[in-house]
Structure 1
Amino acid sequence: MKRFTLAVLCLTSSVCILPSLCSTTLAQSQNQKVYTVVEQQPEFPGGKAALSLYLAENIKVPGVLIRKNYNTGQVAAKFIVDELGYVHDVRVVTKPLDKKVRKGMEDFMASIITAVEKMPRWEPGEVGGKRVPVFYTLPIEVNVNE
């Protein structure tokens, strides 16, 4: 029987000491600053272990990827956690898609987007004690084992 594992690696970014030195960028869908580096990173309710469990339960790995023993390599979900803790503007970045598993990978990426969009509210990121919107990158990797 084939087994697969879904590994979620939460990135820790450097902490900005002075809010005036923190990197910012302008979100395409909003007219406010969205931070890339903050003093306190957004946090999923229950922490990294709860996030890993949530994703393992909610991301569906298509059968074609399992049958072909296809390891997805690094896949990253990129999104914004706003100042209220809601997740939006979800995007998935991956290596170039193999023709033989393109449909399976597209289904996998759609499943990631769906799972991330349905996440419960996060604890927002902070700069200077104030809640701010933050770009967040969440690496996801699937390893298929015999």
Structure 2
Amino acid sequence: MLTKRSFLLTFLSLISFFPFIGESKSFNVSTKEAISLVQQDNDIYAYVEQKPEFPGGSAALNKFLTKNLKYPEKARLKNQQGIVKVYFVVRKDGSIDRISVIKSAGKLLDAEAIRLVKAMPKWRPGYNHGKAVNVQQSLPIAFHFSYSSYYED
């Protein structure tokens, strides 16, 4: 069974033996460089020179979370509290995908944390060697309610 890498190597090798019909373009990219370019396009980095950033920075992120968090009523009635840690990828264009929970605080709170991350605007992407790259992120979202909010003067 061919792996993606061996398939790509075989494909690139075959292309070099057959001339392109109708066009006479020359490519100055080696097979190794071509594979590297394909991999870099889909790579997800853990560490980069410049990390992705929520528009406006961490203060704006905290404001966004505070404003948009909707504590699930069923979770409140069950006295569920805790921290949900969410993993996601900030893409080169700032969009967010691959959202998943890596530390749960219960299904209701997990679902709200995922909803919050999906509702975020595009981030400023991360950069490595001057190029925008896909970067993994994790975000802890705290679900705590205080009884003082029920006792307003």
Question: How far apart in 2 are the matches of 1:81 and 1:128?
Answer: 17
Determine the structure 2 residue equivalent to 1:71.
81
**Cα-to-partner distance string for 1:8-43 (whole Å, 9 max, x where unaligned):** xxxxxxxxxxxxxxxxxxxxxxx7110000111100
Determine the structure 1 residue equivalent to 2:45.
35
Give the number of the structure with larger relative contact order, counting CA–CA contacts within 8 Å between residues 6 or more apart.
Answer: 1
Question: How far apart in 1 are the matches of 2:50 and 2:89?
Answer: 15
Q: Which moved more, 1:85-94 or 1:54-63?
A: 54-63
On the 8 A contact 2:53/2:124 being kept in 1, the answer is yes
**1:87 aligns with one of 68, 78, 96:** 96
Determine the structure 2 residue equivalent to 1:49.
59
Question: How far apart in 1 are the matches of 2:90 and 2:128?
Answer: 14
- Give the total of aligned pairs: 109
Question: How far apart in 2 are the matches of 1:110 and 1:117?
Answer: 11
Structure 1: which 5+ runs fail to align?
Answer: 1-30, 98-104
Matched-pair identity in %? 36
CA gap of 1:77–1:130, structure 2 versus 1, over 3 A, is same
Question: How far apart in 2 are the matches of 1:69 and 1:94?
Answer: 18
Higher Rg of the two aligned structures: 2
On the 8 A contact 1:77/1:113 being kept in 2, the answer is yes
On the 8 A contact 1:59/1:108 being kept in 2, the answer is no
Question: How far apart in 2 are the matches of 1:144 and 1:131?
Answer: 38
Question: How far apart in 2 are the matches of 1:41 and 1:75?
Answer: 22
Let me know the Cα RMSD of the aligned residues.
2.2
Determine the structure 1 residue equivalent to 2:27.
none
TM-score (norm 2): 0.63
Structure 2: which 5+ runs fail to align?
Answer: 1-40, 148-153
Q: Which protein is richer in strand relative to its size? A: 1
The code of the aligned residue for 1:32 comes to: N
